C-alpha cells in the first residue's frame, strides 16, 4: 500500500473518531454563534453553553446534539483523505531524503498547504451542517427567513442551489480559508513540537498512546485559540439569508459583530469549541497514528 493510500485510510478512521467525540460540542458552538442578537432589554435565547445543551435536550432530545452530523460523516473520508494525504505529500517534498524527520516549521508549512486543499471540501460541508444546527436558534426570529425549513442535508443543498445556485454552497469560503490555513499550520506545528518534546528529541515513532493523545488534544486547542473569530464570521455568513443578507461579507460581518457586541461577540461559543477540541483531536490523532503505524 502506498503512502497516500495509508494516509487516506488512517485519516478516514481518525476523522470518524474526531466526529463521533466532538459533534455534540460543535452543535452547541454553532447554536451560540448563530443565535440572533437580543433586542434591547431582552435576554439572549441561550444564556450560555449549558443552557443551550438543556434547551436542545428538552426540545429535541439527545439526537438534537447530533443534528447535521450526516453530511460530515458522509464526507469524512474525503475530508480527512485530503487533509492527511496533502500533508503527507508535502512532507515528502520537504524531506532532504526519504524517512528524514521534518522540523516544526516544515510541519507548519505542510499543515498550511493541507488547509488550503481541505477548505474546498470544508466550506460546502460546513454550510449545510451549520444551517441544520442553527435552525432551532433562529426559529421564530426575523434574523433569517430560512429558519426551521430544512428536512435534512439534501434538503439544505436543494434550497441553497435553488436560491443561489451552486456558488451558494461556497458561501463563507474566505473565512473558511482564513481558519483552515493558519489553523492547520498551528495545529500540526504544535503537534510535532510536543511529539518531539515527549520523545526527548529522539525518534517519535515509538511514542505511546497518552503522549499522542496529549499532543493531538493540545494541537487541536491551539487551532481554535489561533483562529476562533474567523470561525464565528464563517458561521454567521453561512447561516445568513441569501435573499436578504444581514452581512455584506467577511469584513462587514466582523465589523458588525464587533460593533454590536464588542470583542466578546467574536468569541461566541468559544467554551464548547475548546471543550470539543481537546478530546476530539486526541481521538483523531491517536486513531490516525495507530492505523498509520499498523499499515507499515
35-64 pLDDT, tens per residue? 777 777 788 888 888 898 899 899 888 888
250-291 pLDDT, tens per residue? 999 999 999 988 999 999 889 888 988 999 999 999 999 999
Query: How much is the CA Rg of the chain, to the nearest whole Å?
Result: 19
pLDDT of residue 142: 45
pLDDT of residue 77: 64
**SS (HEC) of 81-131:** HHHHHHHHHHHHHHCCCCCCCCCHHHHHHHHHHHHHHHHHHHHHHHHHHHH
Q: Residues 123, 126, 131, 134: is their CA dihedral positive or negative?
A: negative
Of 80 and 191, the structure prediction assigns the larger pLDDT to 191
- Furthest-apart CA atoms within the chain: distance in Å: 65
For 128, other C-beta atoms within 10 Å of its C-beta total 25
pLDDT of residue 289: 92
List of long-range contacts for 154-157, beta carbons under 8 Å, 24+ apart:
156/127, 156/128, 156/131, 156/132, 157/128
Residues 82, 114: contact at Cβ < 8 Å? yes
* φ and ψ at residue 23, rounded to 5 degrees: -60, -40
All structural domains of the chain: 3-294 (1.50.40.10)
d(CA 268, CA 264) in angstroms, rounded, equals 7
Q: How confident is the model at residue 243 (pLDDT cuts 50, 70, 90)?
A: confident
pTM: 0.81
Q: How confident is the model at residue 145 (pLDDT cuts 50, 70, 90)?
A: very low
pLDDT at 143 over 50: no
Amino acid at each position: 500500500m502506498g503512502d497516500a493510500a495509508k494516509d487516506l485510510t488512517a485519516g478516514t478512521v481518525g476523522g470518524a473518531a474526531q466526529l463521533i467525540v466532538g459533534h455534540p460540542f460543535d452543535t452547541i458552538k454553532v447554536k451560540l454563534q448563530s443565535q440572533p442578537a437580543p433586542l434591547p432589554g431582552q435576554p439572549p435565547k441561550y444564556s450560555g453553553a449549558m443552557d443551550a445543551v438543556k434547551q436542545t435536550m428538552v426540545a429535541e432530545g439527545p439526537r438534537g446534539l447530533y443534528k447535521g452530523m450526516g453530511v460530515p460523516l458522509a464526507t469524512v473520508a474525503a475530508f480527512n483523505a485530503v487533509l492527511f494525504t496533502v500533508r503527507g505529500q508535502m512532507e515528502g517534498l520537504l524531506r532532504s531524503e526519504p524517512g528524514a524527520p521534518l522540523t516544526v516549521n516544515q510541519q507548519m508549512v505542510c499543515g498550511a498547504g493541507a488547509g488550503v486543499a481541505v477548505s474546498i471540501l470544508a466550506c460546502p460541508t460546513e454550510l449545510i451542517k451549520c444551517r441544520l444546527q442553527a435552525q432551532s436558534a433562529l426559529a421564530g426570529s426575523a434574523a433569517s427567513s430560512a429558519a426551521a425549513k430544512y428536512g435534512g442535508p439534501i434538503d439544505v443543498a436543494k434550497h441553497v442551489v435553488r436560491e443561489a445556485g451552486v456558488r451558494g454552497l461556497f458561501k463563507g469560503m474566505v473565512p473558511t480559508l482564513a481558519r483552515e490555513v493558519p489553523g492547520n499550520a498551528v495545529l500540526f506545528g504544535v503537534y510535532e513540537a510536543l511529539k518531539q518534546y515527549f520523545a526527548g528529541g529522539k525518534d517519535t515513532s515509538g511514542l505511546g498512546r497518552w503522549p499522542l493523545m496529549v499532543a493531538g488534544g493540545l494541537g487541536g486547542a491551539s487551532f481554535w485559540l489561533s483562529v476562533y473569530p474567523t470561525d464565528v464570521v464563517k458561521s454567521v455568513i453561512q447561516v445568513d439569508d441569501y435573499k436578504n443578507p444581514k452581512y455584506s461579507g467577511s469584513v462587514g460581518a466582523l465589523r458588525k459583530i464587533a460593533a454590536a457586541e464588542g470583542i466578546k461577540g467574536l468569541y461566541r461559543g468559544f467554551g464548547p469549541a475548546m471543550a470539543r477540541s481537546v478530546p476530539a483531536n486526541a481521538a483523531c490523532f491517536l486513531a490516525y497514528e495507530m492505523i498509520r503505524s499498523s499499515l507499515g
